[in-house]
Amino acid sequence: MRKRVIATAVLAASLVAGGLQAQDAYRLTRSGSAIVIDRDDLWSHWALQNNRVISLATRLDSASIFTIDQGVRTRYMRSQINAALDAGEFTYFDAVRTGRDATGGMTAQSNSSRARRVADADLSTYWEPSRADFNSDGLRDWEIEIDLGRLVHVDSVTLVFPPGVIGVDGEEDAGDPIKNFALFAGTGERSGGRQGQTDSKILQFDFIARATDADLVATDDDEYLTYTASLIPLDDADFDEDGAPDMSGSMVHYFRIKVTGSALGRKTFIGDGEEARLEYEGLSSTRQGDRVYQRVTAGGLLTPVSQEIYESVLNAEEQGPIRYYIPEVPRLLEFQVWGKGDNIAHSPELRAGASFEQGGWCGLGSTACNATDGALQTWWTANVWSQFVNRGTLWIDLGATFWVDRTAMILKWTSGRTKGSFMGNGFWLSDGSLVSPINLQGVEDFGQLETGVQWDNIIPKVKFDNLDQKVRMFEESFPLRKVRYVMARNVDPTGGEWEGAYVDPGNLSELVLYGEGYPVSVFLNSPPILLNDTDDLSAVQQTTLSKISWVGEAVITTRDPLTGELTETLESLVDHPEVSLEIQTRTSQTTDTSYTYYATAGGIAKEVSQQEYDDLIQKWAIYNYVVDNNLDTAHHRKSKDEDGDGQKHEDWFDGIDNDGDGLIDEDWTRVRPGRDVPKEEATLEAVLEFSGWSSWSAAYKPTDGVNEALVTSPSPRKFLQIRVNLRSDDPHKTAKISEIRVELVRPLSQAMAGELAVLTEIGALRDLSEAPIRDDYLPPIDVSPLTPQTFSYFIRAAGPDPTQFQVRNGFNEILIRTREPAELLGVRTGTVDVDGTQAMATTFTENYLAGPDGVFRSADGTDSLTVLPAGEDSLLFRLPQSLNRGLTGDTQGIVEIRFRAPTYREGTEFESFVRTTGDDFFQRVDIDNRDASELVESNSALVRLDNNSGGLIHDVEMIPYVTPNGDLHNDELVVAFTLLRVLNDVPIEVTVFDLNGRQVRRMEDLEDFVEIAPVDDTDVVEEADEGADAGPVLFTGTSGRVEFTWDARDDEGNLVAPGIYVMRIRIDADKEYGDALRTVSVVY
C-alpha cells in the first residue's frame, strides 16, 4: 500500500502578533468611501503593541489594562484593592493539589454553591451552611476557602456580617454573625514542605486570628458588623534581626475561614408555655429554632425527650412544658482582602511584555516567567553572579510604562545554605530612558537592556547583603515613578567567593509592583488593512487615502476625600495638554512569505531546519516511488557500493540517473514497503507577512481646531496600518479614543512623484521663463539652517483613470507643507516623458511669475495662478487648468514650484498634496525615493542640514533690559530664539541668576513659553522619553522659533531688586546640551 506524504502548505495571513484578523478590526461605510473604527467589537481586534519589540503584541480584549466601552481607554491602576473580587479572573499552575492549571475563587465544605457570594461586593448576598449541616456533626464542614488566583501583598482582611437583628413586620431577616471562627492564610507552600516533604497534596495554612461575635465592630450606621485582621509576613522578613518583620502585611495566595462554634438552633430562649408558643409561631420559618420537648419524671424533674415520644407515648401528666428557641442564622456577607493595589508585574506576556534571562525565555530553556505567574511553587532559579556581569540576570518588560511606588518579593524555601533566598538582593528599575542605542528584534535581545537603558537600584544597603538573614519575603517603597523594565540578579555580596555557584540558587517565586494611576504610554495597532477593492493581493490599488479624523477625550480620575471612591470623568483634550492622543499611519505595497518547517510524529510537531525538512521530503519521495512502482529492492544493501564508483547511496530510487553514470537507481539502500516507512511526516507552514512599510507618519494634529488632518503616509498603497499612542504625564489622567475615520477617494493621478532641490546662487537668479539647466539644481544636502534657502519642488503626475468619472479631470490645486513660513517665488508647468518610474525628458510650456500687484500671471498674461489661504507653514495655490487631465501612456504632467523658506530641523521632509477645485479631499504626492524630473538627482523631499552650523540655540533676540513699573512699557522681558537640529521634543529650561550665581528664577513650565514655529514631524514616538518624574508640565520644543517672557519676578513671585542679571537658556537634546547666556538689566 502506498503511503502518502503529509507535506502541507498552510497559508496564514498573520497580520500582527496575536493572529489578528483585519476585517474584524474596522468597517467600511456603505458607499465604501471610508474606513471606520467606531464600535467596541472593532476595537477589541486591535493589538496592544510593544513599541520596542515588534514581535510582542496581544489583542486589546485580552490585555488587562484596557477598558473597552464606547471606545478604548487605559485602566486606572489602583493603590488599594479588594483582591477577592477578581480572584476568578486569574489562573495559575497548582503544583500542590492538582498538578494542572487552576482558577481562583471561593469554595466551601458546606453549601459550596453559595461560597462565591462572600466576594461579590453585594452585601445583600451571603454564605450560610446548608440545612443538612446545621448540627453539631455538620459544624466541622463550616469552612470556606478563598483562592485569590495569585499571590497578593495583603495588608489586612475584613469579614462583614449581618447585625443579628430579627426582621419584623415583613422585613427580610438579614441573619446573624458567625459566633466563633478562626482565620488562616497560606502562600501556597506545601504542607510539610519545609521538612522535606515533596509529595504532599495539602496546602500549608498558618493561623492568623481567632474571634467571636463579641469581637465584632458595628459600622457607622449600625447596619453591619465587621472584623478586621492585620497580617504579618508568613515567611522570614527580618533584615535587621530585631525579631520584628521589616515589612507590613504579607504575600498571600489562600485564606481559610473555619467556623469553630455556633449556637445552632438555640441562640435565644423565648420561653415555654402558651405565650411562648404563640410568639414562636409568629416568627418566620428561618427564625423558628429548636423546640425542646420535656418529660416530667416521677420525682418532678424535667428531662428532654423526642417529639415522637412526647406526643405518642407520654400522658398528659408526664408531658412537661415545651421550650421554644430562636436559632442562630449564621451568615458571612463579604470577605474583603485588602491588597496593596493592582499588581502591574503580573504576567506581562499577557499585555505585550515578556520575561527573559540570558539563555532563554518563558518555556524555552528558562524559568524567567515564573517570577510573575502568581504562584509560589513555580519560581525563577537565580544562580549567584557578580553584579558586574549579566549572567543569571532576569529582565522583565512590562509591555508599557506604568506609575509605580512599591515592590515586594517572595522566594521559595528550599533546603541548603541559603534556604532559597538571594545571597545579595539585586533589583533595579528603569523607565526606559536610553543611555545607548538598542535594537530589540526579539525577547532574546533583552540583554541589551543591561547597558542600553538607565537603571536605578531600589534596594537600600541594609537589605542588600542577605547571606546571614536569609530573608525570603520583603518589600520596598519609593516615591511614585515611571517604570517600564525590571532587572533582578542574585548578587554575590562577598565580591567573588560565591560567584558562579550553582548549588544554592535563590528561588524568586513572585515579584510584584504596585502604584497608582493610568499607564504612561501605550500603543494600539490595527492589523494591516487591505485597501484593494478585492482580496486579490496582486490587484492594482484603486483608492487613495485622503483625510483622517478622530474622536477623543481626556479621562480624569479623582478620589473622594471622605470615601476614597474613584470617579472617572470625560473632558476635552484641549484643556489637558499633559494628555496626548497621538494617531499615526503607515502604508505598504508589498508582501512576503516566511516559512516554518516541522517534522511531526505521534501528533506532536517539532520545528526543524530547512535542510532537515528537505531530507524528510526526500525520504518520503523515495518510499512512495518504491511503493508506487512495486520495486524489488532486496538486493540493495546499506554498506555496499553497488556500482563500484567509490560512492555509496548516491543514486536513489526516483527513476533518474542522479550520479550521471548512465545507470538508474542502481546505488541505494533497501526500502521495504510497510516496514521502512519514515517515522515522521513533513509539514510546511507558509505565513504571509507584510514588508516594505513606510515610516510611521508624524502624529496627526487637529486642523483649525477640528480633529482631522490630511493623511501623510504614501498613497495609493495596498495596505494601511494605524496606531494610536495613549500618553499622559499625569498619573491621574489618560486619553480615550472612540472613533477613527479614514476617507478613501479615487486617485486623481495613477502615479505621482515629488522631488526637492536647492537652487544654486546662479539658478536662483535665473528666470523661470528661461530653459531649465540641470546644474542649477542641487540635492537638499548640507543646507544651512541659518539663512532661508531657495528651493524648487518638482511634482510629476500621470493622468487619472479614464474609466473613473469622478476623477477624470485630474487635479489643479497643490499644497506643500514647508514646516516654516515660506515665500512663493514662481511656478512653471509642462510635461515629462517617462520610462517606467524614471523621468527622461522635461519640457516646460508655461510659467507663472508675480507681477507688481502680487498676482502670478502666465508669460502672455492670459492666465493667472491663484494663491489660496493656508497655514503659515504651507503653500497652497490653484493652477488655471488641470496638470494631468487626459494624459496617457509615457507622457505625464510636471510642475516646478520655486519658493524660499528656512529649515531648522535635520531631516525635515516637505510633503505635498493635490486636489481638484471644489473637492475637500487631498491626495498625497509620493516622495519616497521617487524621480520626478531628470533635472534633479535627489530622489527625495528630505532636507539634510549642514553639520557645521554650530550649536542648538541661534538668533537670540531680546531688549537687554526690563522696567517692571506697571506702565505697560517693557514691563516684561520678551526673548525669542531659534532651536536647530533637534530631532524630538526636548525640555527647554530658562534660569535667571544674580551676579553672585544665586538662582533667582527658573522657568520650565509650559505656561512660560510660546512655540512660534515648531516642527512636529517625528517618526520616533516610540522612543520618546518616558522617564520624567511626576511634577509640573514641562515645556518641550522641537526645531523652530521659540519665545518666552520674564516678568522680573523671582521664584516666590516677588519683584527682584534692580540690577544686572544673567539669563541662561538650556536645551538637553539627543545627548547634546545647548546653552546660551545673556545679561539683562532690571531698572525701575
C-alpha cell at 441: 528584534
Alpha carbons 1026 and 837: distance in angstroms, whole number: 42
Domain range list for the chain: 30-75+523-592+690-744, 82-264+331-339, 268-326, 348-516, 754-924, 953-1082
Instruction: Tell me the fold of 348-516.
Output: Jelly Rolls (2.60.120)
Per DSSP, 465 falls in state: B
Q: Of 879, 687, 709, 693, which is closest to residue 797 (Cα–Cα)?
A: 879
Determine the Cα angle at 392 with ends 389 and 396, to 5°: 100
Contact assessment for residue 927 and residue 908, using Cβ atoms and an 8 Å cutoff: no
Alpha carbons 1005 and 989: distance in angstroms, whole number: 8
Alpha carbons 302 and 293: distance in angstroms, whole number: 9
Contact assessment for residue 557 and residue 518, using Cβ atoms and an 8 Å cutoff: yes
Alpha carbons 227 and 215: distance in angstroms, whole number: 7
Burial track 215-227 (b if 16+ CB lie within 10 A, e otherwise): ebeeeeeeebbbb
Q: How far is CA 347 from CA 343, 374, 425, 891, in A?
A: 9, 8, 22, 60
Q: Where are the alpha helices (DSSP H) in 892-974?
A: none
Burial track 1018-1049 (b if 16+ CB lie within 10 A, e otherwise): bbebebbbbbbeeeeebbbbbbbbbebebebe
Q: How far is CA 543 from CA 207, 288, 836, in A?
A: 70, 78, 21
Say what the pLDDT of residue 533 is. 53
Say what the pLDDT of residue 1022 is. 37
Say what the pLDDT of residue 617 is. 80
Domain 953-1082 falls under CATH 2.60.40.4070: yes
Q: Of 71, 76, 90, which is closest to residue 146 (Cα–Cα)?
A: 90
Alpha carbons 971 and 962: distance in angstroms, whole number: 6
C-alpha cell at 715: 498613497
Q: Which long-range contacts (CB under 8 A, 24 or more apart) does 86-91 make?
A: 86/149, 87/119, 87/146, 87/147, 87/148, 87/149, 88/116, 88/149, 89/64, 89/149, 90/148, 90/149, 90/150, 90/346, 90/374, 91/149
Alpha carbons 252 and 153: distance in angstroms, whole number: 6
Contact assessment for residue 180 and residue 260, using Cβ atoms and an 8 Å cutoff: yes
Domains 30-75+523-592+690-744 and 348-516 share a fold: yes
Strand, helix or coil for residue 1045: strand
Question: Would you say how long the chain is, in residues?
Answer: 1084
Across the chain, which has 1084 residues, the per-10-residue mean pLDDT values are 36 38 82 92 95 91 93 97 97 95 97 97 96 94 98 98 77 89 97 78 96 92 92 94 94 98 95 93 92 93 94 92 96 98 96 83 71 95 73 91 97 88 94 87 89 93 91 96 95 72 82 97 93 52 84 96 92 95 90 71 76 80 77 66 63 63 65 76 66 85 93 87 96 98 92 95 93 93 87 96 87 93 96 94 95 93 93 92 94 97 84 91 88 92 77 80 84 82 67 88 61 40 38 48 85 90 77 74 90
Domain 82-264+331-339 in CATH: superfamily?
A: Galactose-binding domain-like (2.60.120.260)
Per DSSP, 220 falls in state: T
CATH code of 754-924, in short, is 2.60.40
Strand, helix or coil for residue 344: coil
Residue with cell 519616497: 928
Alpha carbons 788 and 578: distance in angstroms, whole number: 34
One-letter amino acid at 93 equals F
Q: Of 77, 41, 78, 76, which is closest to residue 61 (Cα–Cα)?
A: 41
Contact assessment for residue 292 and residue 326, using Cβ atoms and an 8 Å cutoff: no
State the CB neighbour count (10 A cutoff) for residue 173.
17
Side-chain half-sphere exposure of 945, counting CA atoms within 13 A: 24
Side-chain half-sphere exposure of 236, counting CA atoms within 13 A: 20
Per DSSP, 800 falls in state: P
Say what the pLDDT of residue 753 is. 95
Q: Are strands 506-514 and 380-382 parallel, antiparallel or unpaired?
A: antiparallel
Contact assessment for residue 395 and residue 455, using Cβ atoms and an 8 Å cutoff: no
Alpha carbons 607 and 1018: distance in angstroms, whole number: 40
Alpha carbons 658 and 200: distance in angstroms, whole number: 63
Alpha carbons 484 and 400: distance in angstroms, whole number: 6
Q: Of 427, 555, 564, which is closest to residue 79 (Cα–Cα)?
A: 564
| Sign of the C-alpha dihedral computed for residues 537, 538, 542 and 548 taken in this order | positive
Side-chain half-sphere exposure of 937, counting CA atoms within 13 A: 6
Say what the pLDDT of residue 948 is. 65
State the CB neighbour count (10 A cutoff) for residue 291.
17
C-alpha cell at 572: 476635552
Contact assessment for residue 481 and residue 431, using Cβ atoms and an 8 Å cutoff: yes
Beta-ladder partners of 867: 877
Give the 3-state secondary structure percentages of the chain, helix then strand then coil, rounded to 5. Answer: 10, 40, 50
Say what the pLDDT of residue 834 is. 95
Per DSSP, 771 falls in state: P
State the CB neighbour count (10 A cutoff) for residue 366.
19
Residue with cell 453591619: 224
Determine the Cα angle at 175 with ends 172 and 176, to 5°: 155
What pTM, to 2 d.p., does this model score?
A: 0.76
CATH code of 30-75+523-592+690-744, in short, is 2.60.120
